[in-house]
Structure 1
Amino acid sequence: MKETMLVPRPEYPRPQMVRPKWDNLNGQWEFEIDHGKSGKEREWFNINHKFSREITVPFCPESRLSGIAYTDFMAAVWYKREFTIPDSWNKQRILLHFGAVDYNTEVWINGQSVGKHRGGYTPFSFDITEHIGSGVNIVTVCAEDDVRSGLQPRGKQCDSYYSWGCDYTRTTGIWQTVWLECVPQTYISSLKITPDLPNECVHIEAKVNGELCNSLLIDATATYEQKRVGSQQAVISGEIAKLTIPISEVYVWEPGSPKLYDLNLALSENREKIDEVQSYFGLRSVALQGMSFKINNKSVFQRLVLDQGFYPDGIYTAPTDDDLRNDIELSIKLGFNGARLHEKVFEPRFLYWADKLGYMVWGEYPNWLFDITTATGLERVLPEWMEAMERDINHPSIIGWCPFNETWDKNGTKQNDEVVRITYNVTKQLDPSRPVIDASGFYHVSTDIFDVHDYDQNPETFKKRYEPMKAGGEAHVPFPERQKYEGQPYFVSEFGGIWWNPSATDEKSWGYGERPRSEEEFLSRYEGLVSVLLENPNIMGFCYTQLYDVEQEANGLYTYNRKLKFNENIIRDINSRVAANEKNFEVIFSSNEKLRINK
């Protein structure tokens, strides 16, 4: 493999399913912008066709780190590079992986199409074994992108030339790692891990691809700090092996105290090992009880912050793995225990660090201003949402799912409630272990949690709105003609957005409400709003907008370059006060001597 110092984003891109034989294809690729989307007609996939520019993958062409920094609309973009297969990979299968490419993608190997993928946020791969030869091979990629169509989920990518309000610079084409993987002729292709804390075990479902026979076995071994704490074996039935590993020493994953187990899976045929993958998991339970959100049966107030997942130089792509970890650590320093991963499917490496650092996150989807007035919306959202869930379901840091955010009407036409309802039902079918918010902010159809967005900047009127709930009175319900509160746990999942950046003189700067006249006024407003929510026993959590500025949106607690705007201790002390909702928590299985709750 290449020297990692020459390859951007060199770390292993799929931390929950690791194999030793892989090759990172990030770095310099040939590149071309195809404004007329005529490249396929002109056969740009031909191996002899030369592109006129170079780009640094995995950074999108809009970003400075790509070396292109072209921010106008691009109907299609093309990539090409050479690669060779190590001799040691002979007689095995070769998979070509893409972490994410926005939006409609087709891939060619040595001039032959090997497959297509639709969706800008989820991974895909192709088995290219039959298309490669010895020596130099060529991979060509075309990605078509149209954020203005209304039928392409685009998150916070701006559909006008200039970024404005809460919409930012677009991302086109490749924006996550491209890599090769060497696997046996028969191999473990996917893995689902379900923790079962009450029964002190973990359930494993492994899928196998390749030549199947009755002598295939899966051996699964769990270790904690290199000590074996459980194992199990199962025969492959069809393409699937299902097994349960009892855990002899139970340590729990919880916010701020993330205990993780290592997991080894070995596939054998006639007792000879043919494949092996490394993974990890956390034992924890998630439940809603009354007005409380419970982790391991402990009431945990959701002190969340909105994270948009944007970077000044990389746009959608963090410059380094350390930048992903740093964003979580910056949040924790201010007393937050988690985040809404807003309008974007974040990189697996971000979720890995959330797992490692004990940071709660909500898995979301980039539906901002997407048209769900007809069933076509379901066609475009549901397949990619299912791919996102499949990719991320094993992460203990994900404590809930939210497929839609602020489902605005389109041109006077209301949302199709069945699109929301069906997506909610499918989400619950795929993962019954986590709560689901159907449409954050509005308009709820079927939801486990009733959440609202409230950007009232006045602590007094803000308090008056939620005061009846303190004594069990009527809950505040925006748009009562469109949604009904049915007694679910109540979550103020967007609030604040206080506009403060004294150094921002650009007239395009934007935030919610009236800009404070001083830092003192900001802090007074912040404390007032947060206190209203912390002191209400019938509110399960909040999510403050937002962690850092993004381009013209100047309502972050940090600048876009991650520089703190305020006294860290003051913000942390406000956020860290004990919430009324969590004063009387109960520890799960307190009578079970095997269970060690890590405080």
Structure 2
Amino acid sequence: MPDEAPRATTDDAAQPSHSGDCPRPEYPRPQFVRPDWLNLNGPWQFEIDRGDTGLERRLAERDLGSEITVPFCPESELSGIGDVDFLHAVWYRRTIQVPDSWAGRTVLLHFQAVDYDTTVWADGVEVARHRGGWTPFTADLGQVAGQEITLVVRARDPKDGPLPRGKQSDRYGNYSCLYTRTTGIWQTVWLEPVPQSHLGRPRITPDLAGGAFHLDVPVTGGSRRGLAVKARLSDDTGEITTERIRADLDFGVRLTLRIPESRQRTWSLDDPFLYDIALELVDEDDTIVDAAATYAGLRSVTIDGKAILLNGHPVFQRLVLDQGYYPDGILTAPSDAALVADIELSKAAGFNGARLHQKVFEERFLYHADRLGYLCWGEFGDWGANAGREGDNQQPGATYITQWLEAVERDYSHPSIVGWCPLNETRQWLHDKVTVLDDVTRGMFLATKGADQSRPVLDASGYSHRVRETDVYDSHNYEQDPAKFGKAMAGLAEDQPYTNAGGADRPWSISYAGQPYFCSEFGGIWWNPDAGPDEDSWGYGERPRTLEEFYSRFEGLVAVLLDDPNMFGYCYTQLTDVYQEQNGVYLFDRREKFDLERIRAAQTRTAAIEKDDG
């Protein structure tokens, strides 16, 4: 494990398996680790297929015309391509050598994320299809140890249709708060050998009241007859308990790992303690068939009136909007250290968490948030999914629900995630008519609640709240005058909070029903000390005339929300500038823009909702 704190040893369980110059060499799935793996990042053959005619032109059967550095998308500088035009289809090709030592095991080919519609061939045979640019998928290559295999990948990224693209620009260039697109492979590609019968990724549910972790452990592949699952829980002083359960009686395997009170240690912002869990699939003779390592944090998230409690206590959520863009990698961080740095930059400015905005962040970000004690709201990349007008940025469809469920399943066990937000700034334009947006919004809410009963769910952030029983209610308010902002937000005390209602001809939201409430986007103060008069620069409201005016505005806006005893948190826009949107606490290259002591001091005093906590 790197020299990081607090402890979680799963990352050490995976032995490095890559060439010395491999980009992004770290293990890509740190919450479910096996020791054997092979990183396939690095040079791949590559070709842009602008007319999406490559299948007819038999691109899958020949060498491609150029080279790209995986896992960086072809629009990025780090890929070696840097083509920012619309890329309707792209092709990849690489011949790999599967290690001889993997004999007798099935080889899985993992793609952590490919945008958007992907087909994979191995030696000319189709082995996988996947739709969705945010989540991982796997191809089963069979028992191919010692073989040389040629992999071909086609990624199609259509300009139109019901595809959730987040903040990727629908024009050639960047504009407003839309940015350079990402096409094709943008996260790590890797191989992993597994036995015929093997463990699947567990779902870990912390039970603080019962002092336990509940594990749902899939067993897949061949026969489960005579097999059992063992789980061993450890802390920094050694083993706590071991449980074993037969794998061949029930479709699902569930274990409960109980922790004696003397060894219970909660995961919190101040002490993000992580327990280690070793998983084994064993036969009747207790011989290990498969093994993997994971970790868990013992913490609870619940609602008490208008407060959201962490481990039974109100913790004001001082969140920052983090869009996860990088100048040279676009959606892909240039290094694992860059992921850590963004969390540290946020905490240095006084924030204790983030809305992971309009992007399903790569999983290593959540690993570091788990380690460092950083609250996260998981979100789907679907900004502007509207209904009722032609030309809307994104049209919602059933595929939104299936892709979102993949994200929830991937990230379910991360203790840093304290809430889910399936949709962002949706709009309902047709008066007195039910549209597909109603169905998609309710479908995503119900699917999230069905997949996870342990966290609150916000049906849609800002604008079209369409589910009356949503756990959380919010609004977006970019008023720049603190006095006017305070007046607008004051109605929460009478259960008449500020809402993005839209008006009679735009019935965006149902009425507020007393849920915990926060202003999940505010601020966005436009400031770039280096911007010239002709520079493309964008932000909210009128740009402050002086740095002191910025500080006064920031402090005033933050104070309105901190001093409201009914407000459980806020989310300030945003952590860094992103291209032309220059309203970050930091510049796009992560250099400081402000006196961080002053920014931090404005936020770190006790919030009103925390003062009465006994």
The whole-number CA distance in structure 2 between the counterparts of 1:301 and 1:425 is: 27
4-13 or 510-519, larger mean C-alpha shift = 4-13
Whether the 8 Å CA contact 2:396–2:436 is kept in 1: the answer is no
Equivalent of 2:415, from 396, 399, 416?
Answer: 396
**Residues 181-192 of structure 1 correspond to what in structure 2 (within 5 A)?**
181-192=192-203
Whether the 8 Å CA contact 1:150–1:371 is kept in 2: the answer is no
The whole-number CA distance in structure 2 between the counterparts of 1:3 and 1:417 is: 47
The whole-number CA distance in structure 2 between the counterparts of 1:495 and 1:104 is: 34
**Residues 222-371 of structure 1 correspond to what in structure 2 (within 5 A)?**
222-236=233-247, 237-248=249-260, 249-270=263-284, 271-371=286-386
**Residues 50-199 of structure 1 correspond to what in structure 2 (within 5 A)?**
50-129=63-142, 132=144, 134-146=146-158, 148-199=159-210
**Deviations, residues 523-561 of structure 1 (Å, cap 9, x unaligned):** 000000000000000111100000000000000000000
Equivalent of 1:499, from 526, 550, 558?
Answer: 526
Secondary structure of 2:108's counterpart equals strand
Secondary structure of 2:471's counterpart equals coil
The whole-number CA distance in structure 2 between the counterparts of 1:133 and 1:57 is: 23
Secondary structure of 1:105's counterpart equals strand
The whole-number CA distance in structure 2 between the counterparts of 1:279 and 1:468 is: 45
Q: CA deviation at 1:376?
A: 8.1
Letter in 2 for 1:396: P
Q: CA deviation at 1:382?
A: 0.6
**Deviations, residues 384-414 of structure 1 (Å, cap 9, x unaligned):** 1010000000000000000000003479996
**In the alignment, does 2:461 pair up with 1:461?**
no
Q: What is aligned with 1:509? A: 537
Secondary structure of 1:163's counterpart equals coil
Q: CA deviation at 1:378?
A: 3.7
**Deviations, residues 159-212 of structure 1 (Å, cap 9, x unaligned):** 101101100000000000000001111110221100000000110011111222
Secondary structure of 1:160's counterpart equals coil
Unmatched 5+ stretches in structure 1? 587-599
Q: What is aligned with 1:535? A: 563
Q: CA deviation at 1:371?
A: 4.6
Gap change, CA 1:468 and 1:409, over 3 Å in 2:
closer
**In the alignment, does 2:229 pair up with 1:201?**
no
The whole-number CA distance in structure 1 between the counterparts of 2:410 and 2:461 is: 22
Letter in 2 for 1:467: A
Secondary structure of 2:552's counterpart equals helix
Secondary structure of 1:6's counterpart equals coil
Secondary structure of 1:516's counterpart equals coil
Letter in 2 for 1:457: Q
Secondary structure of 1:417's counterpart equals helix
Secondary structure of 1:540's counterpart equals strand
The whole-number CA distance in structure 1 between the counterparts of 2:224 and 2:386 is: 46
The whole-number CA distance in structure 2 between the counterparts of 1:373 and 1:217 is: 53
Equivalent of 2:222, from 211, 221, 229?
Answer: 211
The whole-number CA distance in structure 1 between the counterparts of 2:430 and 2:590 is: 38
**In the alignment, does 2:43 pair up with 1:20?**
no
**Deviations, residues 257-306 of structure 1 (Å, cap 9, x unaligned):** 20100000000012211100000000000011111110001101110000
The whole-number CA distance in structure 2 between the counterparts of 1:190 and 1:133 is: 23
Whether the 8 Å CA contact 2:213–2:257 is kept in 1: the answer is yes
Q: What is aligned with 1:594? A: none
The whole-number CA distance in structure 1 between the counterparts of 2:427 and 2:518 is: 20
Q: What is aligned with 1:433? A: 454
Letter in 2 for 1:129: G
Q: CA deviation at 1:418?
A: 2.3
Q: What is aligned with 1:595? A: none
Letter in 2 for 1:235: R
Whether the 8 Å CA contact 1:372–1:419 is kept in 2: the answer is no
Equivalent of 1:424, from 441, 445, 449?
Answer: 445
The whole-number CA distance in structure 1 between the counterparts of 2:209 and 2:256 is: 14
**In the alignment, does 2:607 pair up with 1:579?**
yes
Gap change, CA 1:239 and 1:28, over 3 Å in 2:
farther
The whole-number CA distance in structure 1 between the counterparts of 2:230 and 2:147 is: 36
Letter in 2 for 1:478: N
TM-score, normalisation: structure 1: 0.94
The whole-number CA distance in structure 1 between the counterparts of 2:496 and 2:30 is: 46
Letter in 2 for 1:556: G
Q: CA deviation at 1:226?
A: 4.7
Secondary structure of 2:366's counterpart equals helix
The whole-number CA distance in structure 1 between the counterparts of 2:139 and 2:388 is: 34
Letter in 2 for 1:172: T
Secondary structure of 1:499's counterpart equals coil
The whole-number CA distance in structure 1 between the counterparts of 2:217 and 2:17 is: 31
Q: What is aligned with 1:560? A: 588
TM-score, normalisation: structure 2: 0.92
Whether the 8 Å CA contact 2:103–2:145 is kept in 1: the answer is no
Q: What is aligned with 2:9? A: none
The whole-number CA distance in structure 2 between the counterparts of 1:133 and 1:287 is: 48
The aligned length equals 581
**Deviations, residues 64-90 of structure 1 (Å, cap 9, x unaligned):** 000000000011000011111111101
**Deviations, residues 554-584 of structure 1 (Å, cap 9, x unaligned):** 0000000001100010000001011001112
**Deviations, residues 132-167 of structure 1 (Å, cap 9, x unaligned):** 474421111000002x31411100000101101100
**Deviations, residues 457-494 of structure 1 (Å, cap 9, x unaligned):** 00011111123434x46322331753201111111000
